Structure 1
Amino acid sequence: MRGFASFSVWWTAMSQEFKADQELLNLIAVICWNVWKARNWATFEHTNPNPIALSKKIMHFFSEMCHVLEMSLSQQVFATHPHHQMIWTPPPSGFLKFNYDAACNEANSMASAAIIVRNFNSHLVDGSAMNFHCSSPLAGEATVLLKALNVANSMGAQSVIIETDSLILYEMVVSSQKHQRWEIRASLSAIKALMPLFQYLSFSFVNWKANRATNCLSKLSVKAILPCNWIMVLPQELKNWLSLDASFAV
């Protein structure tokens, strides 16, 4: 920053120079924010900076922010293209991100499910864990997605990002095709009926590695070792996964 007395002076100059290119200014802001957070993490938590991981996180955050900014003021349902996101990333400010997971035992038609809700600070806001009967793994995933939308609606959330590691369900939710698999027809109809209740609603398909916290919660639920007040008193294993996600997010 040679030639500038402070960051605010530098940013004012950059804003004037590139005022005609808002997208570039947004990218510069995202880079500065993430580099500053990484610097603080290295300074105060004594971590080793990883430039490659940081650059990937910056581009994912910037891509997600662009998608959000492209939404109109009226309600929209947005679907990001399938990709291989390997780590969890926080949503933009003002949004809530819902991750969910379902595991179905076809031998006894029982499923365990988990929903985790986090904000832009990576803080756990809400969540749910349950065991239920289901006819297939896909039916289990659809049931939990419906539950996640109901949780979002009950919270009064208007700006929501939902991430799933079920590519089949993701494609059925975002598709306009009327053909639906019979075992999720009712759930899918209920899901699409809830969509207009949100001002912004984004669906994303992610790699299972970006969904490990909900996978952990689901396993704790199926083992019947999850306390009723788990949101207030986090099990250590779940706390470890949430902390790891947060560490990638800084």
Structure 2
Amino acid sequence: MGSSSAVWTPPPSGSMKLNFDAGWAGPRGQGFGLVVRDDKGAFQVAASHYEDHRSDPLVAEALSFRWALKLAAEWNLDNLVIVSDCQQLVTAFHQCHSFPSLQQILLDCQQLFSSFNCCSFLFECRKTNVVAHALAAESHLYHDCAWWGDPPVGILLHLAADLPDL
């Protein structure tokens, strides 16, 4: 599951992987997207959130992380591998005090993160995060939505392209 991987890889057996992303959405907004898949690559849930303003990209990624953690906690998900394509965010999370502009958001994230029994937060390259990225980019179409069991049509091709060869 390292950054050298060019395709989505499943989490360890019995775990779920949560990919999230932030991105520009619509003419002036920012969006967040997340997708959760099991250790076989099967879709579990996806969500999107839209905000009618734009933050600095790193702040947007941190806000997206906090949003994803809140949803995962709300949904009682556990045994998670949480993945971001923003290396700077992963570094900031693990060295919170080195990033004063993000400190409050990251402290919120650390508190949420500690509520999970088994959870890790890793960096993976952008190519492994296309589904979450698509949801973030199209969030202005969905606003605040969650899809359980059946993904939205807009990400079906991305999910199919991501299926692992198990």
TM-score, normalising length from structure 2?
0.85
**Unaligned ranges ≥5, structure 1:** 1-59, 61-81
CA distance in 1, matches of 2:111, 2:94: 13
1:232-247 equivalent positions in 2, closer than 5 A: 234-246=151-163
Q: Which of 23, 32, 42 does residue 103 from structure 1 map onto?
A: 23
- The structure with the largest helix share of the pair is 1
**Does the 8 Å CA contact 1:104/1:136 hold for their aligned counterparts?**
no
- TM-aligned CA deviation for residue 227 of structure 1: 9.7
**Does the 8 Å CA contact 1:87/1:209 hold for their aligned counterparts?**
yes
> Greater CA radius of gyration, 1 or 2?
1
Quickly say closer, same or farther: Cα 1:103–1:173, change in 2 above 3 A: same
- The structure with the largest strand share of the pair is 2
Runs of 4+ in 1 over 2 A off after TM superposition: 225-237
Show the counterpart of 2:129: 211
**Unaligned ranges ≥5, structure 2:** none
Q: % of aligned pairs identical?
A: 24
2:133 maps to amino acid: N
Deviations 1:214-245 (A, max 9, x none): 111222223x2689575565444411111111
**Does the 8 Å CA contact 2:48/2:144 hold for their aligned counterparts?**
no
Quickly say closer, same or farther: Cα 1:138–1:206, change in 2 above 3 A: same
**Does the 8 Å CA contact 1:165/1:205 hold for their aligned counterparts?**
yes
**Does the 8 Å CA contact 1:160/1:202 hold for their aligned counterparts?**
yes
TM-score, normalising length from structure 1?
0.59
Higher RCO (Cα < 8 Å, 6 or more apart) = 2
Secondary structure class of the residue paired with 1:178: helix
